[in-house]
Amino acid sequence: MLIRIINLPTDCTEDDILVLLDSLPEIETIELTLSGNPDNRLAWVCIQCSRVGADGIARKIDGRFWKNRHISATVALFAYR
């Protein structure tokens, strides 16, 4: 499953995302990109789990105030890359 995390600070790293997600062993990959706005980063996190599990992980961090930002997390409905 893919989880999209938006409104991350520009200096955010893959290690920061691992800390945010409590270093879940299910994490397969983390891809950080600029989200069309140079002040925000976007992360795509590929996690090996069910849709229900991914929804729970996204809800855990959605709306959290982290590194002076309110971040948002959602589970992708379709995985295309």
pTM of the full predicted structure?
A: 0.88
Q: Is the pLDDT of residue 80 over 70?
A: no
Tokens read off for 41: 């980063």
Cβ atoms 33, 17 nearer than 8 A: no
Residue 39 to residue 50: CA distance in whole angstroms:
32
Query: Residue 16: which pLDDT band, with cuts at 50, 70 and 90?
Result: very high
Q: How high is the pLDDT of residue 79?
A: 64
Q: Which domains does the chain have, with CATH numbers?
A: 2-75 (3.30.70.330)
Cβ atoms 4, 81 nearer than 8 A: no
Neighbours of 7 (CB within 10 A): 17
What is the average pLDDT across 18-29? 88
